Each structure stands twice: as C-alpha cells, then as structure tokens.
Amino acid sequence: MKLVSLFTGIGGFERGLDFAHIEYEPVFASEIDIPAQKTYLSNYNPVSLVGDITKIDEKDVPAHDFLVGGFPCQAFSIAGKRKGFEDARGTLFFDVLRILKLHKPDYFLLENVKNLVNHDGSNTIKVILNCLAELEDYSIDFSIVNAKEAGAPQNRERTYIVGIKNAKREPYEFDKRSFKIDYIKKQLNKKKYPSFNFFNSLEFDNEQLYIKDIISRNVSDNFYLNSESVQKFLEENSFREDKNPQQKIVKLFDLPKEVHNDLERQRRVYSIYGISPTVLARSDTTKIYVTHNGKKAIRKFTPAENFRIQGYDEEFIKNILKKSGNSNTQLYKQAGNAVSPLAIAGISKHIFEKNDKGESIWR
C-alpha cells in the first residue's frame, strides 16, 4: 500500500501503521518545519520528503492508496456561503483537497484538534465536510477520539475524519462520543450526506498505561522544582495519594503562588497513578509528585517522557534523542504537536478490518 503523509510532523501516522502491522510504502511526505523534518528522518527515510506543500503541484505527488495528515485548523475566508471546494482556497486544507481530488486514493485519515467542531461557529467543520462530499466517491465519517481509549496515559481528545472510496453508505447513527458531533450529523442526515458509521464500532484492546508506567528512574535535577520555597512547602505538608491506578487525571494539589510564582496551570501537581492532562507543544509540561533521593519532590516530564505519554515506543524515542540533534525545547514542541500512534493504530486497523471471507467490512 502506497502512503502519502501530509503535515507529517515526526511521523506519528507512520508509527501508528507500524503498530497496527499494516504494510505500507511511504512514497511522499511533507513537513515544512525543519527541526520536525530532522526528527522524522531519525526513524524514516521516505522516497520523498518535501517542505512547503503549498508549493508542490499535486501532479508531482505520486499515485497512492492511503493519504493521512494532521492539517492545521484555519478559518475559511468565505464563511457560510457553502461553496464547498472553493471555500477552502487559501487554507492548508485546500492542499489536502487538491491532492485527494486528483489521485482519489482508496482511503484517507485526517486528524485535527477537538475544537475543530466548534471552530468559527462550526462553520469550519461544515465547509470541510462539504468539500470532502464534493469528491463524490467517498463515504465519510468523523468523530472525537480520546487517546486514553487506546491505552495512552493521557487525556487527549482529537477530531478524526475517515474517508473510504466506494464504501457502503447509510445515515449517521447517534455518535456515542460527542453530542456536538451528533448534532452536526443529524443536520447532515437531512441533506443525504455520503455518510457511514465507522467510529461507533471502533474499539481498542490495548492495555491501559498510567504515568507511573512511563516515567524514568534517573532524571536530571534540571527537571525538578528545586527552590527552597517548594522544598519547605513539601516538608510542611502531607498529601493523600490513592495508589490504585485510575484512567483519569488525578490532581493532588496546587502549589501556592507565593511558593511557586507561575500561572495557575503550571502550579498544578498530578499523581503518577492517574493519566496526564493533554501534552502541549511547550516545555512547561505536566508536573508530577514523586520521591527523589528519599524526599518528596515535584518535577516536570522529560522530552522522552512526553513522547511516551503520547504512546511512542522506546526504539522510536531512542532514535530521536540520538539522531535528530534537536534541543529539548524543540522536542517538547514536537511531542505536543504529534498525533498519538496508539490512536492511529486502532483507527487504521478498523479501516482495514476484514470479514469472515477476508473482504473489507466497509465495501
């Protein structure tokens, strides 16, 4: 299966396909950010890795079977005029469309932030769906999937859109993950949208991981909050911590501002027996409560831990740390911008799921 990966970042879609044991040949990848390119090349060596996709003619993109991409969320310039494909001009989503329109791969999988469904008063998602419907050949489904469903030790909700060419079509059923998406689907049903119910039957069978499962034992003092005020606060206070793992974010306490002068979000300290809040593209990551040199301590995640929180494996992370040459600041940014390969693996498996006769269940 020939793969085209747009806005490829560090290669999270590819890693998800690896996890799913789906055989593919990367024939084209696009990523404009140079540090992210270096990280991508730490693990993958595609036939073609290019930069700015807006400067690449769609005719120069090789024929392919599967297109994937996490395109940026942008408002459309012609809001609410419902011109479909024309509405997308001037946005990076247009570059996804023009490649899909020319090559018509059998499958596509797109990822975006959870807020895509609310962005610009929901106009953005509606224009995107209208544009995809204009491609004519595809059955389309969309929903919000949380990476913790796939076992990732993180609360990370993202919007996913799946298109399968010549798949069966049926009205949207109740969306079990999102009331907002269900509302949009009910509107689309009135328009006889080219819909099918993909995400409602999506299930994951991975073991659930927790923060305690991914943290390193030997971590540099640079990652700890070592001020005298923090140490004094920890010595003078005790905290009840339930050591039974829970598939939720478990906040233990907030550091007082006079103890740690930072934004409220950066003064929250979490239990390692829960999962992490959403990893962001910045170096001020989740703070956790641990024991260090026999004493109570607070520290943030290392770059390697941020990648583990996302669901990346040790070989992938080791190659990044050894080969990319990127700073910790860049690595934090890349981890926060990446897709979770555990979620991608489960969704991809479902796309290529077979029936008892070995045929695609979606045909």
Catalytic residue (choose from 20, 67, 73, 309): 73
Domain 2-205+340-351: CATH superfamily, name plus number: Vaccinia Virus protein VP39 (3.40.50.150)
Which stretch of 61-70, 170-179, 288-297 has the lowest confidence by average pLDDT? 288-297
Closest CA to 73 of 179, 140, 158: 158
pLDDT in tens, 30-51: 999 999 999 999 999 866 799 9
Domain 211-337 maps to which CATH number in 3.90.120.10, 3.90.180.10, 3.40.50.12780, 3.90.550.10? 3.90.120.10
**Residue ranges covered by each domain of the chain:** 2-205+340-351, 211-337
User: How far is the C-alpha of 146 from the C-alpha of 72, rounded, in Å?
Assistant: 19
Spatial contact of 3 and 27, defined as CB atoms under 8 Å apart: yes
pLDDT in tens, 100-153: 999 999 999 999 999 889 888 888 898 899 999 999 899 999 999 999 999 999
Is 73 one of the annotated active-site residues of the chain? yes
pLDDT in tens, 212-244: 999 998 899 999 998 999 999 999 998 889 999
Q: CA torsion angle for 6, 12, 18, 20 (degrees, to 10)?
A: -100
CA 231 to chain centre: 36
For the segment 50-64, the average pLDDT, to the nearest whole number, is: 94
User: How far is the C-alpha of 279 from the C-alpha of 307, rounded, in Å?
Assistant: 9
SS3 73: coil
- The model's confidence at residue 75, banded by pLDDT at 50, 70 and 90, is low
DSSP labels, 87-151: GGTTSTHHHHHHHHHHH--SEEEEEEEGGGGTGGGGHHHHHHHHHHHTT-SEEEEEEEEEGGGGT
Write the secondary structure of 236-282 as one string of H (helix), E (strand) and C (coil): HCCCCCCCCCCCCECEEEECCCCCCCCCHHHHEEECCCCEECCCCCC
**Residue 355 one-letter amino acid:** N
